[in-house]
Chains A and B, each alone.
Chain A
Amino acid sequence: MTLKKTPLHAAHERAGAKLVDFAGWEMPLHYGSQMEEHKKVRAGAGMFDVSHMRVVDIRGPQAQAFLRYLLANDVAKLKTEGRALYSCMLNERGGVIDDLIIYWLGGDAYRAVVNAGTADSDIAHMQTVAQDFDVSVEPRPEFALIAVQGPQAVDKTLPLLPEDLRSAGELKPFSALWNDEWFVARTGYTGEDGFEVMLPAAEAEGFWQALLDAGVDPIGLGARDTLRLEAGMNLYGTDMDTETSPLTANLGWTVALKDAGRDFIGRAAVEREKAAGVQQRLVGVVLEGRGVLRGGTRIVTDAGDGVVTSGSFAPSLGMSVGFARVPAAAADAERLEAEIRGKHLPVRVVRPGFVRNGEPLIELPSG
């Protein structure tokens, strides 16, 4: 199979990227050192080509009604034009089809950004559900997406934006503004301040080069993964999928059950699960000793085994952290054990989320 290429593919090659297959796209894993790229985002500014993610526009008189039925979070919460909401899209069994960000563009228009690996099946699902509504679901593959993240990201990006979008510096987190061609959102996947910018593919290389010239380094998907893990953000397909419910993926907060009159796909299943008692929970784990937690690492508890869903060395902390799905009865323990190469090593249990705006959220061992 030929891998798909983003409009920035040539720029990645010029920068010496190690390119890998990611969900059918040839994407940069790193440009030399994943560790240095990670630290650059925490300390300065870095940029990610995320053009493999898919923009989907939803428009029509029943757009809101459609999205209130399609998504587990409630778009009726979006009261200001440009505001965004993070939501899961569930199947009837309450499993997660995908997680996405949805923006209200005003009136009866919304814009979603979905994951690359699930884009085609997401769109097929959306279009099937849309048949019962007066609404159109339109993928916008012509956009390139560039995320600029880090404490210096906003300052470095603003002067490079089209003039009519430079007020983006005043955007609140999870808000966007746009013109006819560009769309700028104060969102990201790193736990740092920054923007995610959608722009016409033809302008992507020019903008990327201008950012490079401004001292923003390109960052690969390797560092993107360790940054989001430190930030306590789930990765679809790793921390949740069609067989896991949001309640067992630390995503209960994104399921809006308040409006009892709102039916949405998966609601009945989620409510049944809640009533019966959630059996497993996703917690944060910190390995203070030597070693690295990896996806699949066994977690040993008195209430039965758990498993690390995402785990890595955390470059900002100098130790390994992860998310672990454990029996609910063990989720409030202070410590559990991880089995690494036959040895049982103690791990501290914390809320998922280890670094935010460059600062550790967890207590670090002294010394």
Chain B
Amino acid sequence: MSEAPKDLKYTRSHEWVRTEDDGTVTIGITDHAQELLGDLVFVEAPEAGSSLEAGTACATVESVKAASDIYAPIGGEVTETNAELEDSPEKVNESPFEDGWLFRMKPANAADLDALMDADAYAAHVEAES
């Protein structure tokens, strides 16, 4: 069974969101998502500086099996992308919640985070999908 850390927020499309001390948020895909995708071979993250609306497809992760869109969990501006994934996309498989993060954002409205699921709701969502 894949894990979903309690301190993160989650989307129905299997992204996770962590609020950092400086108010930015880090975004990645869940352990469940990486398990479904299998071995990742490319990650195309949004460019730093671009502004995203909640729910828009903003990144792509490609595994041996399939390409999958990543959706912006909330609106805001991209501040940083995980450059290490360029050469080591497998980090998303190995460490989806830590080393395998995809990008960071400055939320347009921090309250938008409240609309996301907590770990229990996400676990129930995964259960219902399978």
Contacts and interface: CB of A to CB of B under 8 A. Distances in A.
A292 B62 contact: yes
Contact of A341 (B39, B41, B60, B63): B60
Interface stretch (A2-10, A28-36, A55-63, A236-244): A28-36
B38 A30 contact: yes
- B41, B63, B90, most chain A CB atoms within 10 A: B41
A273 B111 CA distance: 66
Interface residues of A, number: 15
Contacts of B38: 30, 33-35, 222
Contact of A292 (B42, B90, B93): B42
Interface in A285-311: 290-292, 294
Contact of A33 (B39, B42, B62, B67): B39
Interface string B20-60: 00000000000000000011011010000000000000001
Nearest to B60: A341
B65 interface: yes
A291 B39 contact: no
Contacts of B1: none
A312 interface: yes
B42 A222 contact: no
A35 B60 CA distance: 19
B128 interface: no
A175 interface: no
Contact of B67 (A36, A294, A315): A294
Nearest to A291: B42
Contacts of B60: 341
Contacts of A294: 66-67
B64 A312 contact: yes
A315 B64 contact: yes
Contacts of B93: 33
A307 to B, nearest CB: 17
Interface in A311-326: 312-313, 315
A69 to B, nearest CB: 41
Nearest to A341: B60
B5 to A, nearest CB: 23
Contacts of A280: none
A121 to B, nearest CB: 28
A198 B106 CA distance: 61
A194 to B, nearest CB: 22
For chain B, the bracket of interface size reads 10 to 19
Contacts of A34: 38-39, 64-65
Contacts of B39: 33-36
Contacts of B62: 291-292, 313
Contacts of A315: 64
A226 interface: yes
Contacts of B67: 292, 294, 341
Contacts of B41: 292, 313
A35 B42 contact: no
A290 B65 contact: no
B64 A35 contact: yes
A309 B39 CA distance: 22
A36 B39 CA distance: 9
Nearest to B93: A33
A33 B40 CA distance: 10
Given A30-B38, A35-B39, A222 B64 contact: yes
B92 to A, nearest CB: 13
A36 B64 CA distance: 11
B65 A222 contact: yes
Contact of A290 (B42, B64, B66): B42
A188 to B, nearest CB: 20
Contacts of B64: 34-35, 222, 226, 312-313, 315
A226 B41 CA distance: 13
A37 to B, nearest CB: 10
Contacts of A36: 39
Interface string B79-106: 0000000000010010000000000000
19 contacts: A33-B38, A33-B39, A34-B38, A34-B39, A34-B64, A34-B65, A35-B38, A35-B90, A222-B38, A226-B64, A290-B42, A290-B44, A292-B42, A294-B67, A313-B41, A313-B63, A315-B64, A341-B60, A341-B67
| Nearest 8 Cβ contacts at the A-B interface | A35-B39, A313-B41, A292-B62, A313-B64, A290-B42, A34-B64, A34-B38, A33-B39
Given A292-B41, A341-B60, 7 more contacts: A35-B90, A291-B62, A292-B62, A292-B67, A294-B66, A313-B41, A313-B64
